[in-house]
Structure 1
Amino acid sequence: MELLDGFRQGLDEFGTRVHEVGPDQWASGTPCAEWSVRDLVNHLVGEHLWAPWLLRGATLAEVGDRFDGDVLGDDPVAAWDAAVAESREAVDRPGVLEGTVHTGAGEIPAEEYLRQMTLDLTVHAWDLARGTGAGDRLDPDLVALVYGHAAELAPRWQGVGIFAPPVRVPEDAPLQDRLVGLMGRRP
């Protein structure tokens, strides 16, 4: 699977689960200990509101605080759909992988930014499924795409609050279980 196809599949994996959230599930807990289902969806909606700006070359200062706080309003599903429509459009722009993106960690290649976004979508789709009791099996090609990148990033991300410490998972466990374990979740 190519990166842009993986990004789109990650959007679909997470989005399918957003559309399955029941009205009484928004306050439910998730494997992200400090986040409810609503908090988790708010996090991803916020990321996808930022993405079009950053992929067009905007700096963090130019985006400012416009996407801080609750970006879901009264209709979290509609907020997700609107954010993703713009994010998907930005990613479909010719040459998107050739640019750079301003992040809190400095300027990085757009390809790296989209790899991180795809990893986030994938792992959080699993989190959302676990928080709502939905099916948590992810597309195996998507999992294969993000696993190597996750293995590379996990040691650097430990201790900075991005993901919990890895959970030991048998080496012969399915790749999805190894991925979520690597990202601090119990499969």
Structure 2
Amino acid sequence: MPLVDLLDEAYAWTGKRLAAVPPSALDAPTPCPDWNLRQLLNHLVGALAMQLDAVEGTPAAQGVTFEEVADRAARVWAEPGVLDRTCPMPFGPTPARVVLVLHVTEVVLHGWDVGVATGERATIPGWLAEPLLDAGKPLVTDAHRGPVFGPELPAGDTGESRLLAFYGRTP
């Protein structure tokens, strides 16, 4: 299934994790060692908005919510010809198809991070994990690991386990 067809489900899955965050958990540690939950949430919304800015070619308003970013993402990724664009990303001009992989992966991985930080331990469904892994493997090489992604770890036999291990997270 094309990733663009999984966009709404990815946002819905992560939205459930975010809706369950109690204010008392905002200082909790996350699987991202440099960020507590508040910092992770700020990163998530900011990174998704930045990616959409690059795809649209125009900056959006600052201080948006996850729900606003989700609504915008549904509109942006549904635009005719959007996947044929080249987007100005901080690391250089990037095909929109690659930005889409980064976008959906960011939504899901950080949704899982939120679940870990709050103690929910939500499971990424295989129908969501497998396409993300398939799309990410050709893009994420050893050169991208380090500050962006941890080293690939040994994985179990589920789609979730393989996805998380690929991106350096311990399932």
Query: Is TM-score (shorter-chain normalized) higher than 0.5?
Result: yes
User: Residues of 2 paired with 1:26 and 1:86: CA distance?
Assistant: 25
User: Residues of 2 paired with 1:182 and 1:105: CA distance?
Assistant: 21
Matched to 1:39, the amino acid is Q
User: Residues of 2 paired with 1:6 and 1:156: CA distance?
Assistant: 27
Kindly tell me the number of residue pairs found equivalent between the two proteins. 170
Name stretches of at least 5 consecutive residues in structure 2 with no aligned partner. Answer: none
Runs of 4+ in 1 over 4 A off after TM superposition: none
User: Residues of 2 paired with 1:165 and 1:108: CA distance?
Assistant: 23
Per the alignment, residue 163 of structure 2 pairs with 179
114, 124, 144: which one pairs with 1:157?
A: 144
Per the alignment, residue 134 of structure 2 pairs with 148
User: Residues of 2 paired with 1:175 and 1:95: CA distance?
Assistant: 30
Identity %: 25
User: Residues of 2 paired with 1:51 and 1:157: CA distance?
Assistant: 18
Q: TM-score, normalised by structure 1?
A: 0.81
Matched to 2:137, the amino acid is A
Q: SS of the counterpart of 1:107? A: strand
CA RMSD of aligned residues (A): 2.1
User: Residues of 2 paired with 1:108 and 1:136: CA distance?
Assistant: 32
Q: TM-score, normalised by structure 2?
A: 0.88
Post-superposition offset of 1:25: 0.9
Per the alignment, residue 104 of structure 2 pairs with 118
User: Residues of 1 paired with 2:48 and 2:150: CA distance?
Assistant: 23
Report Cα offsets for 1:119-163 as digits up to 9, x if no partner.
12121111111111124211211111111233331423113x101
Name stretches of at least 5 consecutive residues in structure 1 with no aligned partner. Answer: 73-78
Post-superposition offset of 1:115: 0.8
